[in-house]
Each structure stands twice: as C-alpha cells, then as structure tokens.
Amino acid sequence: MKGICKLCLKDSILRNSHIIPRSYYKNLKENGKLVMVHKGKHSTVGNFDPKEPMLCDDCEQYLSTTFENYGIRVLRDWSNVRKNSDHIIIKSFNYEKYYLYLLSILWRASISKHSHFQGVVGNESLDDALRHCILQNKLRFNKLSRLSIDKFIKICIFRIVDSSGTFNDDAIKGIVSNVGQSYDDTIDAVIWSFIADGFLIIYSISPGKDFYDMMTKKYKSQLNKGSHQKIMKIEIKNSPILLTTFGNVVQALENSIIHPSQNS
C-alpha cells in the first residue's frame, strides 16, 4: 500500500514491517520451540507474525543493514562472550550501534497500530526524538547539541537464568514477549520491556529530582559506553516481570497440551 514512511516521512510504497525483528523467532518458529507471550495471553506460535505497513523499502533495508544485522548477532555469538557466575562479558561491543538498534524496536512499538503493541502508549515528542536519532544514526539530538538520547532513556539488559531447573536454557531462549509498558514508582520511571533470545531488555525514562539527576541516574546492568559490555544474570524468581511472564508460559504450555486446537 502507499502512504507516508514513518521513518523518512516520504510518500512511498510501504512494506509490511516487523516491530520486533523477525530473526528473534524465525528459527524457533520453524523448530516448533517458540512461545510468544502477548498481553497475558500465550500461544505456541504457528502462524504468528505481527507486522504492519510502516516503512518504505529503503528505510526497511536501512534498519536491517545498519542496526538489525549487528543487533541480532552480537548476543548470539558465544565465541565473543566470557561467562562468569553472575554475569557475562561481551568482549567486542559497539555501544552506539546496539543502543540505536534497541531504540528502533521501542520506536516501532510506540508508533505501531497493531493490536499486539497497543499496550505501548506513544508520546509524539518522544517518538519524533527517537525517529530523528535512528534516521541520523546518531545518539545526539542534533549537530549543535551536546545532549544525547542515552542520557534520558536508560537501557538495561539481563541474561535470564533459572537455578530451580524449572526452565532449562533452551526453554528460556525459546520465549519472546511483546513490548510491555508500566510505571515503576520505586524509581519514578516509565518502563518498557521485552524478552527475546534469553535476555530481558528494559528501557526506562525518569524525570529525576532535577535535570542533572535525570541524566546521571544509573541502573543495574545498564548499557555503558566501551568496547566490552557487562550483562548481569537475573533469576526468574527475583524479577516480578519474569515471574509473571514465565508463570503464564507454564499455563500456556499446559493449555496447549490439553486444548491444542485453541492455540493461535
């Protein structure tokens, strides 16, 4: 269909664009190991493939080659990972590229009209700031400003583990969730999160006590500039987000055995 590309804002033929990159669930889907978690409802995915007319062909290719090819690969390349008891180290890491890659997912979820992402309430000013940084492939808001978007939207990544043995690593890696939005009053922040490839990705934005506090706030397992990235492990039992998600997964799998025809 024809329309205005959401990224370059040009009148174009629009592609059916994925919000969460298709690579996250393509192989798992083919192997029948994927569980998709959506708004508290769950499905062992057979034909699930949420996408909508959003980007022109040039912008679709731009996101793929500039961000997604790297973003998908970097956490899957175990030859580039050093494992420790409570964290992993990504030994060769492009902070800006990976940050913008994750930002592109949040931006697409925020502007999406698809029912799967209706829980993400967009803000026009924030969406436009995200779009600008993604299109320019820069963290800074503009050439003259010294302010960069990563000072305001903090992104934390955790490697999900389960020492109880309820979920083995293959099962954890086989779960993908939609982007959820909530408010955490303990840190006075709007939170967005999703799960993919065995990782929990959390975005947060907080007004802080003042402008300086907002920019300097730090969180556990937050992405940091540098060629190495430390990613903390997180137990399912220690995270309310994970407890809810994985508890629902158990119910979904039980339902798929008892009522296989009801999966969608």
- As a whole number of angstroms, the distance between CA 154 and CA 156 comes to 7
Confidence of residue 262 (pLDDT cuts 50, 70, 90): very low
Report pLDDT for 29.
61
Q: What residues pair up with 36 in beta bridges, in sequence order?
A: 43, 176
Query: Does some domain include residue 109?
Result: yes
Range scoring the smallest mean pLDDT among 108-117, 181-190, 239-248, 250-259: 250-259
Query: Does some domain include residue 22?
Result: yes
Range scoring the smallest mean pLDDT among 85-99, 109-123, 230-244: 109-123
Quick one: tokens of 198?
Answer: 């065995």
- Mean pLDDT, residues 186-215 taken together: 86
Q: What angle do CA 103, 40, 157 make, to 5 degrees?
A: 35
Report pLDDT digits (tens) over 105-124: 999 999 999 888 888 887 89
Q: How many other C-beta atoms can be found within 10 angstroms of the C-beta atom of residue 15? A: 19
- As a whole number of angstroms, the distance between CA 3 and CA 127 comes to 18
Quick one: tokens of 154?
Answer: 């903090």
**% of residues, the chain, pLDDT over 70:** 83
Query: Does some domain include residue 264?
Result: no
Report pLDDT for 257.
44
- Only one residue has tokens 């992402």, namely 117
Query: Does some domain include residue 123?
Result: yes
Query: Does some domain include residue 94?
Result: yes
Quick one: tokens of 32?
Answer: 């029948």
Q: What does pTM read for this prediction? A: 0.88
Contacts of residue 168, defined as CB under 8 A and 6 or more positions apart, other chains included, come to: 162
Query: Does some domain include residue 35?
Result: yes
Instruction: Assess whether pLDDT exceeds 70 at residue 263.
Output: no
- Mean pLDDT, residues 160-185 taken together: 88
| Count of domains for the chain | 1
Report pLDDT digits (tens) over 24-40: 867 666 555 566 666 55
- Only one residue has tokens 């779960």, namely 175
Q: What residues pair up with 148 in beta bridges, in sequence order?
A: 140
**% of residues, the chain, pLDDT over 90:** 52
Query: Does some domain include residue 213?
Result: yes
**Domain with 13 in it:** 2-256
- Mean pLDDT, residues 128-154 taken together: 88
The overall longest dimension of the chain from CA atoms, in Å, is 60
Query: Does some domain include residue 263?
Result: no
pLDDT averaged over every residue in the chain: 85
- Mean pLDDT, residues 48-71 taken together: 92
Confidence of residue 246 (pLDDT cuts 50, 70, 90): confident
Instruction: Assess whether pLDDT exceeds 90 at residue 23.
Output: no
Q: How many other C-beta atoms can be found within 10 angstroms of the C-beta atom of residue 140? A: 16
Report pLDDT for 80.
92
Range scoring the smallest mean pLDDT among 10-24, 133-147, 215-229: 133-147
